[in-house]
Amino acid sequence: MEKNILVEIIKRRLALEGEELTAVLENPKYQRLFENAAKGARYRLVAEVVASKGCHSGHVVGQRIVFDSAGNLLTREAPDRVCAFLMPNLAVLINAFFENLMNGRDPNAVMFNRTGCFDVGPMCGGWGHVQVEMRAELRE
């Protein structure tokens, strides 16, 4: 995808005009984004449940929660229920993967790619706990 096409998509999607658009176009960090966005768009970010005990939302080992490379939940590929208490920690991981993608690095170079929900389990006054491991996969 050419830079001009990407700029038009961003301009339209974010409704940027005038000074706001100029600020984006003249910022060096966005130049890296423009260079790497098309390569990054080839990936999906997959958070796979690797441990689950007492999950009130029903998350089970092997379940996949899938996002596009920009961090949008792909609802057609998500479980019927996604726990809100898992999402904030997933956002932190998505940001780390996104940073790698937009800087032209291997997205899977994120060293600490596991997280879990906020629930601390029944021994600490909660319900249970879910852990996920995130990875970037090339889209099919």
In terms of Cβ atoms closer than 10 Å to its own Cβ (0-12, 13-18, 19+), residue 21 is middle
Q: How many domains does the chain have?
A: 2
Residue 14 has pLDDT above 70, yes or no: yes
Q: How far apart are alpha carbons 85 and 11 in whole angstroms?
A: 33
Give the residue numbers spanning the domain of 96: 43-138
Binned at pLDDT 50, 70 and 90, residue 89 comes out as very high
Say whether both 123 and 97 belong to one domain: yes
Say whether both 69 and 132 belong to one domain: yes
Q: What is the tens place of the pLDDT at every residue in 17-60?
A: 889 888 888 888 888 888 888 888 899 999 999 999 999 999 99
Say whether both 48 and 26 belong to one domain: no
Binned at pLDDT 50, 70 and 90, residue 133 comes out as very high
Task: Please tell me which residue, 39 or 94, carries the higher pLDDT value.
Answer: 94
For residue 70, give both structure tokens: 């920009």
**What pLDDT shows up at residue 1?**
62
**What pLDDT shows up at residue 66?**
97
pTM score, whole prediction: 0.85
Say whether both 109 and 134 belong to one domain: yes
Distance in Å from the first CA to the final CA of the chain:
18
Q: What is the mean pLDDT of the chain?
A: 91
Q: What is the tens place of the pLDDT at every residue in 114-128?
A: 999 998 888 888 889
Residues 42 and 139 sit within 8 Å (Cβ to Cβ): yes
Q: How far apart are alpha carbons 49 and 64 in whole angstroms?
A: 6
